């Protein structure tokens, strides 16, 4: 453990020496997103106890509130092509950070009395958080692209930047998890929602100091691909039509569609095992700590391992870790003399650690696939693929709960639910060969060269047009002088 943290210290020392100011706003965006998980337990208890939702309906409703994360390319397209108040990134962080804070305040005041008001406000909060996330990830990809021009190995640059973003976000989640369970013993859910509003408000204040080149909307050249929304869409579609791109995206989508068991396990923990909010907060703390350890392990030891090898290995390991929950739900651990809390803590560490090692190669691959000028759009599309798959996974999980008759009153077939849903984890493995990393990068570079050539041609045409206009104006002025 000490060796790992020594390497982490050296890594941050190297980062400091080549520090890019954009890393600061990336870290603040990631931390704000992670620390807002402070309200997760309060939301779960509100839906379970105050509104009396079943595990299946709770999973469905929560999946509906995450819809903004599915259409992330649309938000990416906006921030890529439409500057707001002269800025492509900064203004959007400020605006939607304000909306995010107001959403939490409104939830504390008006959302706890009516289910549909609560769901609407949760939707608006997710929308605001998602937009800020898109902007932060766009800056992340831009910095990775800049680093790639200075490094011979883009894999290192991409893995470093992705590790920073998701590591800092996990650190924010770690802090919120440490306090989330304890706070429910001393504060109401409404007060916790109000506390959560402070974090996006802090993000707004910090982002005011973010230095970004200002753009004058009146002087934007529509021949510039970045300023033309339709051209951005065409570039995005041209890039996405490549089989080297859409096949890995389809693989990622299928992998993330595995049915989720999170809501039913929350009910099992609270109703069957009798876990209190304080221990659930400790579990969330363990999740976040395992996420950070997973990021560190990947970035220090596994970032050079080929995608296919690490993905297959971690997927199989994750499957067996997931199936270990059968021991808990069938109460075999009690027969073996293993305490419920001890078993849950150990199982959570392994499940989250392996799960993070399984996800990191996908996130790095997504970062490496993004072309210039549509960074936010492309990366947002890849992330929305992950989010859409997760949303469908939640709905698949709710459907299987209904089919098997598993609910808050009957957990007798929960073991069967875990077996059936675990099969979906392994289903994408036969198609992992569609990911060809070297060919993806070569294709991306070729398309970049083609786009640059088109830009040069458009610049030549626009320059010749300007010269023609200047010649015409000069002839007109000469004619006027002769007439006078």
The answer to whether 284 and 180 have CB atoms below 8 angstroms apart is yes
| Rounded average pLDDT over 261-288 | 89
| Rounded average pLDDT over 9-26 | 63
Nearest-angstrom CA–CA distance, 126 and 69: 8
Higher pLDDT: 36 or 459? It is 36
Residue 27 reports pLDDT greater than 80: yes
Residue 294: what pLDDT?
86
Residue 13: what pLDDT?
59
Residue 480 reports pLDDT greater than 80: no
Answering whether pTM is above 0.85, one says no
The answer to whether 357 and 297 have CB atoms below 8 angstroms apart is yes
Token couple for 350:
């392994």
Chain segment 242-266, per-residue pLDDT in tens: 787 788 888 888 888 889 888 999 9
The share of the chain scoring above pLDDT 70, in percent, equals: 76
| Rounded average pLDDT over 87-96 | 89
The answer to whether 387 and 137 have CB atoms below 8 angstroms apart is no
* 20 to 123, 142, 147, 377: CA distances (angstroms): 34, 11, 10, 22
Chain segment 119-155, per-residue pLDDT in tens: 999 999 999 999 998 888 888 777 766 665 555 444 4
Residue 329 reports pLDDT greater than 70: yes
Residue 183: what pLDDT?
87
DSSP secondary-structure letter at 371? Answer: P
Give 291's pLDDT tier (boundaries 50, 70, 90): confident
Nearest-angstrom CA–CA distance, 283 and 16: 33
Chain segment 105-115, per-residue pLDDT in tens: 999 998 888 99
Residue 396: what pLDDT?
92
Chain segment 67-76, per-residue pLDDT in tens: 898 888 788 7
In a 10 Å sphere around its CB, with 0-12 CB exposed, 13-18 middle and 19+ buried, how is residue 3 labelled?
exposed
What rounded mean pLDDT belongs to the chain?
Answer: 80
Residue 481 reports pLDDT greater than 70: no
Residue 264: what pLDDT?
93
Give 387's pLDDT tier (boundaries 50, 70, 90): confident
Residue 85: what pLDDT?
83
Residue 25: what pLDDT?
83
Nearest-angstrom CA–CA distance, 415 and 417: 5
Residue 397 reports pLDDT greater than 80: yes
Chain segment 433-473, per-residue pLDDT in tens: 888 877 776 766 666 566 556 655 555 444 444 445 544 55
What are the helix (H) ranges across 298-436?
307-323, 325-329, 332-335, 340-368, 375-404, 414-426
Residue 319: what pLDDT?
94
| Rounded average pLDDT over 150-162 | 55
Residue 220: what pLDDT?
56
The residues, ordered by sequence, that sit 6+ positions from 470 with a Cβ below 8 Å of its Cβ are: none
């Amino acid at each position: 453990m000490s060796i790992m943290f020594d390497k982490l210290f050296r890594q941050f020392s190297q980062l400091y020496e080549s520090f890019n100011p954009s890393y600061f706003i990336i870290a603040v965006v990631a931390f704000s997103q992670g620390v807002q998980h402070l309200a997760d337990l309060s939301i779960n208890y509100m839906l379970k106890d105050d509104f009396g939702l079943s595990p299946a309906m709770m999973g469905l409703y929560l999946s509906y509130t995450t819809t903004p994360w599915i259409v992330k390319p649309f938000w990416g397209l906006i921030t890529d092509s439409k500057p707001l108040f002269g800025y492509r990134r900064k203004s959007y962080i400020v605006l939607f950070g304000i909306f995010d804070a107001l959403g939490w305040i409104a939830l504390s005041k008006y959302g706890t009395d009516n289910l549909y008001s609560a769901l609407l406000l949760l939707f608006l909060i997710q929308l605001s958080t998602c937009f800020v996330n898109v902007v932060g990830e766009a800056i992340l990809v831009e910095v990775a692209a800049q680093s790639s021009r200075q490094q011979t190995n883009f894999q290192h640059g991409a893995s470093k930047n992705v590790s920073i973003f998701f590591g800092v976000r996990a650190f924010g989640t770690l802090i919120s998890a440490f306090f989330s369970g304890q706070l429910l013993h001393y504060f109401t859910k409404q007060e916790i929602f109000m506390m959560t509003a402070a974090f996006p408000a802090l993000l707004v204040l910090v982002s005011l100091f973010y230095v970004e080149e200002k753009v004058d909307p009146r002087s934007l050249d529509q021949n510039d691909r970045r300023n033309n929304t339709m051209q951005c869409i065409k570039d995005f579609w041209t890039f996405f039509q490549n089989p080297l791109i859409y096949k890995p995206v389809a693989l990622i989508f299928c992998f993330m569609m595995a049915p989720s068991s999170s809501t039913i396990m929350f009910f099992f923990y609270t109703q069957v095992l009798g876990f209190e909010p304080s221990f659930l907060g400790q579990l969330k703390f363990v999740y976040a700590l395992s996420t950070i350890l997973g990021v560190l392990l990947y970035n220090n030891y596994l970032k050079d391992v080929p995608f296919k090898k690490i993905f297959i290995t971690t997927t199989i390991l994750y499957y067996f870790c997931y199936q270990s929950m059968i021991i808990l739900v069938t109460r075999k651990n009690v027969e073996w003399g293993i305490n419920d809390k001890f078993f849950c803590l150990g199982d959570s560490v392994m499940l989250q650690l392996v799960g993070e090692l399984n996800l990191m190669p996908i996130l790095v691959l997504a970062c490496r696939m993004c072309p210039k000028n549509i960074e936010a759009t492309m990366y947002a599309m890849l992330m929305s693929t992950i989010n859409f798959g997760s949303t469908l996974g939640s709905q698949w999980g709710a459907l299987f709960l209904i089919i098997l008759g598993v609910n808050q009153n009957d957990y007798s077939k929960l073991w069967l639910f875990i077996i059936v849903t675990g099969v979906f984890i392994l289903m994408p493995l036969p198609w992992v060969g569609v990911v060809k990393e070297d060919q993806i990068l070569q294709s991306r570079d070729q398309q970049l060269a083609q786009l640059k050539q088109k830009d040069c041609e458009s610049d030549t045409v626009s320059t010749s047009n300007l010269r023609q206009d200047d010649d015409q104006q000069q002839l007109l002025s000469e004619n006027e002088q002769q007439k006078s």
